[in-house]
Structure 1
Amino acid sequence: MHIDDKVLKKFQKGTLDSKELIEVLKHLDTCSFCTDRWMELENEEMIQAPSYLKEDILKRVHKADVQVNIHIKKTSKKTELFFYSLKTTAAVLGALILLISISYVNTTERLLDYKDKASPSVSISEKLNEKSNEIVDIMTYFSNQIINGGKN
């Protein structure tokens, strides 16, 4: 014996008591006809979209304001990628400058040490050393700002 459509509708709405619910579930588990009928009732009660909806959506997509929003989203992604690559490039350049300046400072210190041994002009070497240390500090700060995205 098959389940009545009224009982299937109550089952869909969840208004069956626990005893009836168990019986319906057991029957649906074994009867493919009732299961198919239940699926048909489910499909009948589904809300259908209006036939004009697809046309309205397609017309709306081609309007200028929607196209502008789409273009803005694409452009913002490209801009984001561009700024990320600029930050990366600046960080690499900063690192290279630091490496070069450190080797330059070491070479300058060796030359100054040599000159110090040859002549006692200490004030020039101290000033050069201070200025080169200031440059290294500035470059370190600059590279940290680039790496951290301008955040402290």
Structure 2
Amino acid sequence: MNDNQHISEQDLLNFRNNCLNQEELEQLLSHVSSCNYCSERLADIMSEEMLQAPKNLKDSILKATKRPDIQIAMKANETSKNMQLFFYSLKIGTAAVAALLLLFLSTNIPAENASSKQAIPLSQEMSMDDELDNSSASWTSVIRENLDDFSSNMMDFSNKIMKTEVTEHD
């Protein structure tokens, strides 16, 4: 093989069968790296040796996935995921409703505050903004007091539970 010539079929077969000595192998690889025609021929020979998938592989895979037992298992898995999502959303919804109920039930606004606001004549010097500021201040103070009471009740309750558990284990 000369530098000006392409690789012969015999040299390609020798390369394929691993029958080239070190010097011939270096010359062949050197030429293939610089010649597109010979590199394509070498690639064609090498691709013939590659393993090919059986022709019916795709059909057998599709047929295996269409089996009723596999489809039933897939549907059961999907149903299980849907049920888990449903129960999770149900828990979150219940927690949100319970939190709102606790908030509304813990805010006991005294009735005299509501009736006294209606009894104030509009001719008083207090502006509407001042009235809103006072009402929001009273709301926030009532909510804060009720939440503090609720928090202390929960702390007492948890302390009682902890004390009973400690005495039971001793």
Pair member with larger Rg: 2
- Alignment-derived partner of residue 28 in structure 1: 32
* Alignment gaps of 5+ in structure 1: 112-128, 142-152
Q: Which has the higher contact order (CA 8 A, sep 6+)?
A: 1
- Counterparts in 2 of 1:102 and 1:57: CA distance versus 1, 3 Å: same
The AA in structure 2 aligned to 1:48 is Q
Offset of residue 99 of structure 1? 1.6
| Large movers: runs of 4+ above 4 Å | 15-23
Offset of residue 19 of structure 1? 9.8
Counterpart CA distance in 1 for 2:6 and 2:154 is: 86
- Alignment-derived partner of residue 7 in structure 1: 15
1:35-54 residue pairs with structure 2 within 5 A?
A: 35-54=39-58
Offset of residue 82 of structure 1? 1.5
Q: Indicate conservation of the 8 Å contact 2:65/2:71, yes or no.
A: yes
Q: Indicate conservation of the 8 Å contact 2:106/2:150, yes or no.
A: no
Per the normalisation by structure 2, the TM-score is 0.48
Q: Which is richer in helix?
A: 1
1:73 and 2:81 matched: no
Q: Indicate conservation of the 8 Å contact 2:32/2:38, yes or no.
A: yes
Q: Indicate conservation of the 8 Å contact 2:16/2:46, yes or no.
A: no
Give the count of matched residue pairs.
Answer: 111
Partner of 2:107, secondary structure, is helix
Q: Could you list the per-position Cα deviations for residues 113-147 of structure 1 after superposition, in whole angstroms to 9, with x for gaps in the alignment?
A: xxxxxxxxxxxxxxxx9xx748x739xx9xxxxxx
* Alignment gaps of 5+ in structure 2: 112-145, 159-170
The correspondence for 2:154, drawn from 120, 137, 141, is 137
- Alignment-derived partner of residue 96 in structure 1: 100
Counterpart CA distance in 1 for 2:83 and 2:27 is: 60
| Identity of matched residues, % | 33
The alignment's C-alpha RMSD in Å is: 3.8
Q: Could you list the per-position Cα deviations for residues 12-46 of structure 1 after superposition, in whole angstroms to 9, with x for gaps in the alignment?
A: xxx9869945961x433321112212321232122
- Alignment-derived partner of residue 60 in structure 1: 64
- Counterparts in 2 of 1:7 and 1:86: CA distance versus 1, 3 Å: same
Counterpart CA distance in 2 for 1:27 and 1:37 is: 12
